[in-house]
Structures are given as C-alpha cells and as structure tokens.
Amino acid sequence: AVPRRPAGAAGARIGAGAGSCAHPELLRAEVWDVVRSYAPSFLYVVVMFNFVIQMQFITMEKERKVRDAMKQMGMRPLAHWLAWFVVAVLTNVAVSIVVTLTGLALGMDLFAENAFGLYFVLFLLMTSAMTLFGFALTTLIQTQDAARTLAIMWYILTFIAVPIVSS
C-alpha cells in the first residue's frame, strides 16, 4: 500500500517490528507428535500389503493351474513352493530395507534411536511370518478374489484387535 501524504507533511514513515503473540508458550510435552501417533499404523500397512499381494499371486497361479502343469511335466510340488519362497524372501528383504532406510532418512525417532539391524530384522521376521501364514492359507483358497478378500479381512481384524490386546 502506498501511504498518502497530508498536505504540508515532509514524508511518510513506515516502521516494522516484531511482537509477541497473544498465546502462551507451548511446552514440548503438549505438542502432538504425528509420527508417534500414526507411524505404527502405516508400517503395519506396508507389511500387510506385502501379505495381500503374495497371497493373491499364489492363488492366481492356482487358478491358472500352473502347479498342475508342473506336475504333468514331472516336477514336484517342492519346486513350486521353493520358487515362491525364494521370491517371497527377496521381496521381504527389499521391503524391510526400504522401510528401515525410509524411516532413517525421514529422521523418525523410532529408527534413529535404535540400530539399523534391529528394525531390519524385525520387519524381515514380520514379513516372513506373514508370508508363511499366507502360504498356509492359500492351500485352502481356490480363487484370487477369495484370497484378496481373506487377506484384507485378516488385515482389518488384526488392525482393530492388536491395539485392544496390547493395551
């Protein structure tokens, strides 16, 4: 804005300064920590997304009769499960590394206060446990849609039950 000069005035003077706000000082304990509130939920989503995708792919092969074709070629079921296990372990290692490095890169207290190997092993064990649970469930499921539905229902059930049980 351009200030107007009254008639006969030599010039206008504009001054700038800083003052205190009208609110009291916030204490560190009163500040809401978004990461502390929502990080466990997001980390759990990452692990469970891996579980849902792996279950869906295994049942997709079941729908397409890949195991039956392998059996007709003379291969044993061990080859099918071993191939899936190797793929799952490689995927789980990649997910665990990415999640742990992302937590460190973002400077999350949870990751910065502890060793890299601790959280890497934690996520690797969790993803491996869910993968093996998914392997067991896919022996009971026939379709890809049923696998996806069951995996998502398991996620929702555990997402609701874990905070209740752990408190």
Q: Give the tens place of pLDDT for each residue, 89-120.
A: 999 999 999 999 998 998 888 888 889 999 99
Residue 91, pLDDT score: 95
Cα(139)–Cα(59) distance, integer angstroms: 9
Q: What was the pLDDT predicted at 161?
A: 87
Report residues of the chain scoring pLDDT below 50. none
Distance CA 2, CA 44 (A): 57
Q: What angle do the packed helices 34-63 and 116-138 form, to 10 degrees?
A: 40
pLDDT score at 113: 87
- What is residue 9's predicted lDDT score, i.e. its pLDDT? 60
Res 37: pLDDT: 77
Q: In whole angstroms, what is the distance from residue 100 CA to residue 151 CA? A: 24
